[in-house]
């Protein structure tokens, strides 16, 4: 940005409320619709789908269905970041949410494993588009000093979706009995459509549209040093080849793969595990999942703020190790009392911290223009792990009769994630 133009911009408008805080709140709701409802609604609704005799779903098929959603997410992830960099995040967010709403409603119309898988695949396309573009939007509206906090709060929107799922799904299942899972998908689609309308009205692509500087940026301050190309933004720089050359990207993407593979196993099957192996009622499992969602709303915010203070690498490695402990506790299969709640609560405390810190790191090692593309590429690699995780866990469950070995595998990958996190190369400011 030209220094003269930057000086003319305001750190906040005359009213005192920076428009970035509106982006902050709407982004939180976007994430709730794109992931909290569209992806993790499946985790909560799955027991009802398994109980429907007309679907005839097996444990292995449930893993394949979850992986179908991740395949759609993976395909979209690679494209969405580059589209957001080129056309602006707002339009991609709106398209993604509208698509999510339509395909969740289509899931409720499914008649068998193949049609459920197709609908979930299509939902994954919209989820990644809205999620990645929303992350990129937050990077543009917040300076490096506030970026971890902002992206951390953004991913906390997933927890809002979990909280809603945990209360509404058992309620609707109790009213509509065998077909309650269908009405749950219709309801989630309506909520996502409402968020899309809100995004269309309130979102803006950059602070410049409001004649503002990003929140936390001081007029006339020097821009932190950027890697490789000296911070110059050329149109040809937004390409996969140049994205990979940015220092820090290779280790970041490998680390993110470990997270995608490990956490998706637990988030997909925790409710089913609680019902089938911990012998919880669906109502109790739903209550636990709802509390997990409520706690997880602040997980990204807290860890993002800590990473702003103590550095991304150290906090990323710490969170991975905490997740490994959580997964090992689940593998122990406690069935009552405090220990039954301990692992789910730990999961909630760290659940969405890594995606938020990854988004902040993408902004730290690149620049606002390329950050959505960097995040899109990292998310593409991460999504490959998400594709492999549920299918692997489903087959482990079918072979052993338990999710215990799947949770042990998740713990091992979390430890690897901590190792790779500690080796990410960060720019010197």
pLDDT at 221: 53
Residues 6+ apart with CB under 8 A from 175: none
- 206 phi, psi to nearest 5 deg: -155, 160
Specify which of 24-38, 131-145, 170-184, 293-307 reaches the highest per-range mean pLDDT: 24-38
Task: State percent of the chain over pLDDT 90.
Answer: 35
Split at pLDDT 50, 70, 90, the class of 9 is low
Q: What is the DSSP string of 239-279?
A: SHHHHHHSTTHHHHHHHHHHHHHHHHHHHHHHHHHHHHTS-
Split at pLDDT 50, 70, 90, the class of 299 is confident
77 neighbors 128 (Cβ within 8 angstroms): yes
pLDDT at 59: 78
Q: Provide the 8-state DSSP code for 217.
A: P
Split at pLDDT 50, 70, 90, the class of 224 is very low
- Render pLDDT for 376-390 as a digit per residue (tens, 0 to 9): 889 889 888 988 888
pLDDT at 98: 97
- 215 phi, psi to nearest 5 deg: -60, 130
pLDDT at 161: 87
pLDDT at 229 over 60: no
pLDDT at 335: 62
- Render pLDDT for 92-115 as a digit per residue (tens, 0 to 9): 999 999 999 999 999 999 999 999
- 16 phi, psi to nearest 5 deg: 95, -15
Specify which of 1-10, 141-150, 254-263, 298-307 reaches the highest per-range mean pLDDT: 254-263
Rounded mean pLDDT of 404-419? 94
- Render pLDDT for 64-93 as a digit per residue (tens, 0 to 9): 898 899 899 889 988 888 888 888 899 999
- 52 phi, psi to nearest 5 deg: -80, 115
The length of the chain is 429
- Render pLDDT for 323-348 as a digit per residue (tens, 0 to 9): 999 999 887 766 667 778 888 899 98
**Which neighbouring-strand residues pair with 142?**
215
pLDDT at 363: 79
pTM of the model: 0.74
- 212 phi, psi to nearest 5 deg: -125, 160
Q: Provide the 8-state DSSP code for 59.
A: H
- 227 phi, psi to nearest 5 deg: -80, 160
Rounded mean pLDDT of 56-64? 85
pLDDT at 3 over 60: no
pLDDT at 15: 53
- Render pLDDT for 190-213 as a digit per residue (tens, 0 to 9): 999 999 999 999 999 989 888 888
- Lowest mean per-residue pLDDT among 44-48, 182-186, 230-234, 283-287: 230-234
203 neighbors 84 (Cβ within 8 angstroms): no
In 3D space, the residue among 307, 52, 293 whose CA is nearest the CA of residue 155 turns out to be: 293
Angle between helix 59-87 and helix 249-276 axes, rounded to 10 deg: 140
């Amino acid at each position: 940005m030209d220094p003269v133009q930057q000086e003319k911009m305001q750190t906040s408008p005359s009213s005192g409320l920076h428009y970035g805080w509106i982006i902050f709140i709407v982004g939180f709701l976007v994430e709730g619709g794109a992931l909290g409802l569209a992806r993790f609604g499946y985790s909560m609704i799955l027991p009802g789908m398994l109980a429907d005799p007309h679907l005839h779903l097996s444990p292995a098929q449930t893993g394949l269905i979850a992986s179908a959603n991740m395949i759609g997410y993976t395909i979209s992830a690679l494209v969405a970041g580059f589209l957001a960099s080129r056309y602006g995040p707002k339009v991609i967010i709106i398209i993604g949410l509208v698509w999510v709403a339509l395909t969740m409603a289509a899931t409720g119309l499914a008649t068998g494993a193949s049609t459920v898988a197709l609908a979930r695949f299509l939902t994954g396309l919209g989820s990644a588009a809205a999620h990645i573009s929303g992350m990129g939007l937050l990077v543009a509206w917040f300076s490096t000093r506030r970026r971890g906090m902002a992206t951390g709060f953004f991913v906390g929107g997933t927890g809002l979706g979990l909280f809603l799922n945990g209360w509404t799904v058992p309620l609707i299942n109790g009213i509509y009995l065998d077909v309650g899972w269908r009405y749950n998908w219709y309801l989630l689609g309506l909520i996502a459509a409402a968020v899309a309308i809100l995004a269309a009205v309130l979102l803006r692509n950059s602070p410049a549209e409001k004649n503002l500087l990003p929140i936390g940026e001081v007029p006339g301050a020097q821009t932190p040093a950027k890697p490789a190309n000296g911070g110059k933004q050329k149109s040809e720089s937004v390409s996969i080849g140049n994205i990979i050359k940015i220092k820090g990207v290779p280790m970041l993407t490998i680390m993110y793969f470990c997270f995608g593979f490990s956490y998706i196993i637990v988030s997909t099957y925790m409710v089913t595990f609680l019902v089938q192996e911990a012998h919880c009622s669906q109502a109790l499992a739903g209550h636990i999942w709802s509390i997990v969602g409520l706690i997880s709303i602040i997980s990204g915010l807290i860890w993002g703020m800590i990473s702003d203070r103590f550095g991304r690498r150290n906090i990323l490695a710490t969170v991975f190790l905490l997740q490994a402990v959580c997964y090992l506790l689940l593998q122990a299969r406690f069935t009552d009392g405090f220990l039954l709640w301990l692992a789910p609560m730990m999961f909630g405390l760290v659940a969405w911290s890594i995606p938020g810190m990854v988004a902040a790191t993408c902004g730290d090692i690149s620049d606002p223009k390329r950050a959505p593309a960097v995040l899109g590429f990292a998310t593409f690699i991460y999504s490959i792990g998400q594709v492999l995780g549920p299918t692997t866990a489903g087959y482990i469950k079918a072979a052993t009769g338990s999710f215990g070995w799947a949770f042990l595998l998740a713990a091992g990958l979390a430890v690897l994630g901590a190792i790779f996190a500690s080796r990410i190369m960060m720019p010197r400011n």
